[in-house]
Structure 1
Amino acid sequence: MTDSTYSGHLEKMKVRPGVPVDYALVLDNKEHVINDLLGQQITLKWEGDIHCRACERPTKKSFGQGYCYPCFTRLPECDSCIVSPEKCHFHLGTCRDPEWGERVCFNDHIVYLANSSGVKVGITRMKNMPSRWLDQGAAQALPVARVATRRLAGLVEDILRRDVADKTNWRTMLKADAPAIDLHTEAERLRTLFADELQQLQDEFGQDAITWLTNENTRDFNYPVLEYPTKVASHNFDKTAEVAGRLMGIKGQYLILDTGVINLRKFTSYKISVTVNRES
């Protein structure tokens, strides 16, 4: 058997569609393919260092998945409206960076339904399909509407989430493959249920501001998992700097070890070392 070690500041895993989904660890901008590590013993160790993903200054604590506190309170990509786009305040003249807002928020967005732990509604920029769904561990995804701005996408989502979830139950997602759901039927049901509210949005923003996508195909995804845990326990670098176990699967942004799971995206900008004990 031979060991190999690599280290660097962690970014969210790179995901690519495939059968199964293809994953790579990203450390200091370098990709390390990890699908072939399934079944191997690995050790991940936080080396005690965090550098802000924006300004690269050292920080004792990470905010918003990898930022120092000054950047977290100043940058537009860290504003509360990124998590809650219906709260966009660009039209009020209070955007943290109007040029950034015009570039990122004033282009077509997709409202979608996904199935990771049951039906959920979400939004994404068109260029982020399908990585957005893969990051969530979705077994299925269906684009249901194309809208003109991020804020409008958030307003549509805000209506639909009165009846379906807008967040993934990560514990459920990590316990098993999600049973198949007819997302086309769900989309039509939601459009009928909220027909009046959705029409009001189109009346306010213009009939062309929302285009319902009735001819899209459901996307199906399969993840590299040898065995799902019967009970989900999570690792946390802030509590235990060294995490070790046999890699049993990869789903969403989680590594599934036989000792527990760890959400690598949560620890963006942490400097970690990864040691792989390859068994011959």
Structure 2
Amino acid sequence: MVYSGVLTKMQTEFQNPIQYYLVFKNDFIHVNQLLDKFIEIKYVGEECLSCGLQKDIYRQGFCKSCFFDMPSAGDWIMRPELSTAHLDKEDRDLDYEKKIQLQPHIVYLANSSNVKVGVTRKSQVPTRWIDQGAHEAIEIVEVPNRYLAGITEVALKDYVADKTNWRKMLRNDNADEDLKAWRERLKIHIPEEAKGYFIDYNEETQLHFPVHQYPEKPKSLNLKKEGRYSGKLVGVKGQYFIFEDDTVFNIRANEGLVVEVII
């Protein structure tokens, strides 16, 4: 069976274990059903997720011109503290920025390779944690806009990590943490503007990934350079395929690539 299409990040369902779906324009693959099977992935080309043209992908699945024009690729996406819609100030498209920025946002702690602080829209819980490969997470602040979440994250990352070590995450090289205790320790460092939004009554969320074998020394597949790869799929975690030979393939980092998946 051959499936073909443009890679976008896998869609997920919060179950035990997490359910993964690779979605193409005219078809989809329930990835969990491929575990312990040999699959081949072939590079065909590139297609910008915005303009749909066959152009080199620059970042986040966009060609270079779209990356610097699209409101969904503004600096405030990666740096929420730069959000300005609450001030009625436009970055690239104020209507779009109000739609995204002026909605409830969560500041959270997640444990993937280590305890880290992060920001996501409330509607993206627990999807964001799944995408990061976190096996446990907890909300610590719920605010009405992205700016407040951003400045809270900036304040807290002086005391806790804000990045995931992808190799440790894929090796499952982490220890269980008491995230409620972490939350209490970090409470005093929350900015004054956000202190009233602190959450002190919820529990950790546990996440379980469909992995039959973790890689000892994960090596990242550069599909564009290699052209094709085949191997036995033994796990999915975060947005990564994990293969028996320790090869891992980051679907999210390869958005915009046109591929064939041969099963």
TM-score normalised by structure 2 residue count: 0.95
- Identity of aligned pairs, percent? 36
Structure 1 CA distance for aligned equivalents of residues 202 and 25 of structure 2? 37
CA contact (8 A) 2:139 2:199 kept: yes
- Give 2:20's match in structure 1, choosing from 20, 23, 27: 23
Partner AA of 1:40 in structure 2: K
Inter-partner Cα distance in structure 2 for 1:31 and 1:183: 36
Which residue matches 2:68? 73
CA contact (8 A) 2:90 2:97 kept: no
| 1:14 paired residue among 11, 15, 22 | 11
Asked whether 1:156 is paired with 2:152, we answer: yes
SS at match of 1:111: strand
CA shift, 1:239, in A, is 1.5
Residue 176 of structure 2 corresponds to 180
Partner of 1:229: 215
5+ long unaligned stretches in structure 2: none
**Distance between the aligned counterparts of 2:120 and 2:26, measured in 1?**
24
Q: Structure 1: 5+ residue runs without aligned partners? A: none
Quick one: structure 1 residues 29 and 96, their matched pair in 2 at CA, closer, same or farther if it must change by over 3 Å?
farther
Structure (1 or 2) with the larger CA radius of gyration: 1
Deviations 1:150-205 (A, max 9, x none): 0110000000111111111100000026321110000000113x26xx22x34xxx
1:50-89 matched pairs, under 5 angstroms:
50-59=46-55, 61-89=56-84
3-state SS, counterpart of residue 139 of structure 2? strand
Q: Deviations over 1:8-64 (max 9, x none)?
A: 1111111111111101111226321011211111110011x21111111111x2122
Partners of 1:26 and 1:18 lie apart in 2 by 18
> Match for residue 253 of structure 2?
266
Provide the C-alpha distance between the structure 2 equivalents of 1:112 and 1:30, rounded to a whole number of angstroms: 34
State the AA in 2 paired with 1:23: Y
For residues 198-237 of structure 1, the C-alpha deviation after alignment (integer angstroms, 9 at most, x for no partner) is: 22x34xxxx7xx4111111210011111111111111011
Which structure 2 residues correspond to residues 131-280 of structure 1 after superposition, within 5 A? Answer: 131-176=127-172, 178-192=174-188, 194=189, 198-199=191-192, 201-202=193-194, 210-259=196-245, 260-276=247-263
Distance in 2 of aligned mates of 1:240 and 1:163 = 40
**Separation of aligned partners in 2, 1:238 and 1:270:** 8
Which residue type is aligned with residue 46 of structure 1?
Answer: Y
Q: Bigger shift: 84-93 or 102-111?
A: 84-93
Query: Aligned equivalents of 1:13 and 1:158: distance in 2?
Result: 28
The letter of the residue matching 1:149 is: N
Task: Summarize the Cα distance change of 1:46–1:121 in structure 2 as closer, same or farther, 3 Å threshold.
Answer: same
Paired with 1:255 and 1:26, the residues of 2 have a C-alpha distance of 15
Do the aligned residues in 2 keep the contact of 1:64 with 1:78 (CA within 8 Å)? no
The code of the aligned residue for 2:48 comes to C
| Residue equivalent to 1:37 | 34
Instruction: Supply the distance in 1 between the matched residues of 2:102 and 2:57 (Cα, whole angstroms).
Output: 29
Q: Does the 8 A contact of 2:70 with 2:92 survive in 1?
A: yes
Q: How many residues in Structure 1 have an aligned counterpart in Structure 2?
A: 261
- Between the aligned partners of 2:38 and 2:71, the Cα distance in structure 1 is 40
Partners of 1:217 and 1:94 in 2: how far apart?
A: 37
**Using the alignment, how far apart are the partners of 1:10 and 1:56 within structure 2?**
13
Which stretch of structure 1 is more off in the superposition, 25-34 or 72-81? 25-34
